Amino acid sequence: MPEAHRTVTTPNELAGASFEIPGVLWRRDPQAAELPLVFDSPHSGSSYPEDFRFCCPFEVLRTAEDTYVDELYSAAPALGATLIGAVFPRSYLDANRAVDDIDSALIGGTWPSPLAPSHKTRSGLGLVRRVVRPGTPIYERKLSVGEIRTRLERCHTPYHRVLDEACQRAHRKFGVVWHVNCHSMPSQRSAKSSKKGGHCADFVLGDRDGTTCEPEFTEFVARELRSRGYTVRINEIYKGVEIVKRQGRPAVQRHSLQIEVDRALYMDQKTLEKSPAFDQLRADITGLIEALKSFTSARLEERRVEHPA
């Protein structure tokens, strides 16, 4: 069996953290004039807990990570935004799933409350994954009710609490908040066609069919990315899951958008090494954050004109 505890260190994972829960998450607060803009990366964690006890090869298990996504958005605090990242791996516990989205086939016992498994969970990709990918199981055992509840209490609950607090604080202060849920997606393109643009989507934006943010927010992000030469699709396959569903309430000026970026644009999907294009993609995402800074600042000014103190 592979070693149960491994940590893959990335240069920016905890550097400059304003707040952290060891092994769980970090938060970096704005380093410039604060904006009601919050980014989070729930799947880039690479610290594998001792009690994981997986049976698949470690290098295969790591392919479930959104590797380096937190680094792609690392400029956010310097531009006035809040950035939050998970330290635990998504294959251990997926913060982007509801607490009742559990695969009963994985439980060694009876769950004490009703379950609502999604179609993803039925294929083994739920709150606690059963497989890394189809045909590759993570465990050669079932997990006890206590084991799963411990993961929820250790990882899921504090992650959502810290994200909720960041968004609520911004909303209280400014009367509005824009939240960006940051992910990467497995690439369908070949290594020879790993350049941006073309038939394959470079980015997919998800607002759950227009229910988690105002359309202007989604359209602005799509326009900015397209202006940099990227192919952008909206609500195709990746519509957004639990996090944008919880955070997005546009009727009360809480806007939440999921962004997926094709992994082939910045890394080798087999070795998980950064590609030579990583720095350019990070620069382009920094440009997007700068544009969002202008977007939010303009919208705040509009609100001040419409609702003077």
pLDDT digits (tens, 9 = 90+) for 94-118: 999 999 999 999 999 999 999 999 9
pLDDT in tens, 257-309: 999 999 999 999 999 999 999 999 999 999 999 999 999 999 999 988 887 76
- Residue 73, classified by CB atoms within 10 Å of its CB into exposed (0-12), middle (13-18) or buried (19+), is buried
Contact 234, 204 (CB under 8 A): yes
Tokens (6 digits) for 188: 């369908």
Look at residue 197 and give its three-state secondary structure. coil
Tokens of 187: 């690439």
Tell me if residue 266 falls in helix, strand or coil. coil
161 located within any domain: yes
Instruction: Look at phi and psi of residue 76 and say left if phi exceeds 0, alpha if psi is from -120 to 50, else beta.
Output: alpha
pLDDT value of residue 188:
80
What's the CATH code of the domain at 205?
A: 3.40.630.40
Structure tokens at 170: 């911004």
Task: Indicate whether 100 belongs to any domain.
Answer: no
| DSSP 8-state assignment for residue 16 | T
What digits encode the pLDDT tens for the residues 163-181?
Answer: 999 999 999 999 999 999 9
Please indicate, yes or no, if residue 28 is contained in any of the structural domains. Answer: yes
Answer yes or no: is 123 within a domain. Answer: no
Paired tokens of 29? 């607060």
Predicted confidence band of residue 193 (pLDDT cuts 50, 70, 90): low
Query: How sure is the predictor about 192, in pLDDT bands with cuts at 50, 70 and 90?
Result: low
**Token pair listed for 114:** 């009703």
In a domain? residue 10? yes
How does pLDDT run across 2-26, given as a tens digit for each residue?
A: 444 566 644 445 557 799 999 999 9
Residue 129 lies in a domain: no
Domain that holds residue 229: 6-90+156-306
- Examine residue 34 and state whether it is found in any structural domain, yes or no: yes
Q: What percent of the chain has pLDDT over 70?
A: 92
Domain contains 82? yes
Q: Structurally, how many domains does the chain consist of?
A: 1
Q: What is the distance between the alpha carbons of residues 295 and 247, in angstroms, rounded to a whole number? A: 19
Residue pair 65/24 in contact by the 8 Å Cβ criterion: no
